[in-house]
Structure 1
Amino acid sequence: MALTATEDSRIPRSGSALEVAEYFAPQRTSTADLPDPLPLVKNLTIGVLEVLAGVRDVDQLARWLGEDAYRALVTRANLSARARSARGVAAVRPAHRILSDRTCEPADGVLEAVVVVGAPIRTRAVAMRLEGWDGRWRATSLALL
C-alpha cells in the first residue's frame, strides 16, 4: 500500500528518536473528528456494571479504557469476585435501566459524563471522563457511586 504525498510528508525522515516516538505515540483528537459519545457512554456504563456483577470479562472493555481506568476496574472487579465467593453467591446478570445521563465538554476532545442507572435493589451513578485519542473516545477515568 503506497502512501499519499500528504501522509508521506508527515513521516519524519532524518528525525531523531524523539520525533519518531512523537509521530507514533497516541495522538489527541478534536471533538469534531470523533463520533457521537452518547452510545459509548451508555454501553460502557452497562458494561462496567456487568463486569462488577461478574458476568462480563473486563478485557472486553479494555479497548475503550485508558490504562488507569482499566487497572482500577480490574481491581474493583477482583474485589467484587472475592466478596461474591466469600458469601457463596453466584454471578447473576443485572437488570439495569438507564434513568438519566448528563454530559459536559470542559475542553476540546474531552467529555465528562454521569449516568444514573436504576436496578431492582438500588440506584447507582457512573461518572466517567472520555478523551479523544487516535480518532476514538477512551475512558481515562471511571467512578461508580
Structure 2
Amino acid sequence: MSAISHLPTTADIASLANASGAPRPLLLRDPVATRREDHATVHPLPLPPAPMPSPEPVIPEELEAVARKVARGALEVLGGTRPLQQMARLLDGRSYERLQLRSNLVRSIEQTRGPAPGGSPGSSTPRLHRNVLIRSVRICPITSSIFEVSVVAAEQKRARAIALRIERWRGQWRVTELQIG
C-alpha cells in the first residue's frame, strides 16, 4: 500500500480531532449545498427599541445673572470692598457664616502684614478684589429647582474658580453651597 492510497477521509480526521482535543479541521462544503444557501431567506433580528432621551431640565434665564452676582459679590466681600450684609438675601445661613469667617481671616492677615510697600503707616493695604471680571459661567441642572454652577473669575493678579449650588427657595434663588478656590 502506498502512502497516497491510504489518505485519511474527512470523517477519520474529525474523529481523530475529537479524540485528541485538537481543533477540528476546516471542511469544505460541496457546491450544491452552497447554492441552496444562496437562495435561503434571511430574517433579520428585530432591533431593540431605542432608549428615550431623558428630558433636559430647562435652565432659567435669571440663573446665570444670580451666579455672576454672587461670585462677584463674594470676591468683593473677601477683598473688603463690599459689606457682607449685601449678600444676606442671596446666601443661606451656613454659606453666609462661612463667607463671614473667611473674610474675617483675610482681614486679620492683611492687618498683620502691615501697610503696603511704599504706603504710609496710616494707609490701608491695597484691595485685591476690586476689579472682578467673570470669565465664564457653566450651569449643570440637577433637578428642575436645583442647579450646580461653576464660575471662573479673573482679578488683577489671579484667576479663581467658584463653585455654587443654587436652589429655588420660597420663590427666589438662594445659594446653599459656596466654594471659592
Specify the TM-score bucket, using the shorter chain as the normaliser: 0.7 to 0.9
Paired letter, 1:134 = R
Does residue 110 (structure 1) correspond to residue 136 (structure 2)? The answer is no
Superposed, which structure 2 residues align to 1:55-134 within 5 Å?
55-89=81-115, 90=125, 92=127, 93-134=129-170
The two structures have a TM-score, normalised by structure 2, of 0.59
Give me the whole-angstrom Cα distance separating, in 1, the residues matched to 2:179 and 2:151. 11
The structure with the largest alpha-carbon Rg is 2
d(CA) in 2 for partners of 1:91, 1:41: 26
Give the distance between the partners of 1:77 and 1:35, measured in 2 at CA: 30
Match of 1:36 in 2: 62
Task: Point out where structure 2 has 5 or more consecutive residues left out of the alignment.
Answer: 1-56, 116-124
Q: Percent identity, aligned pairs only?
A: 32
Partner residue in 1 for 2:78: 52
Match of 2:173 among 130, 137, 144: 137
Please report the TM-score for the alignment, with normalisation by the length of structure 1.
0.73
Q: 1:119 deviation in Å?
A: 1.8
Tell me by how many angstroms 1:108 deviates: 2.0
Structure 1 unmatched ranges of 5 or more: 1-30
Aligned residues: 114
Higher helix share: 1
1:87 Cα deviation from its structure 2 partner: 1.1
CA RMSD of aligned residues (A): 1.7
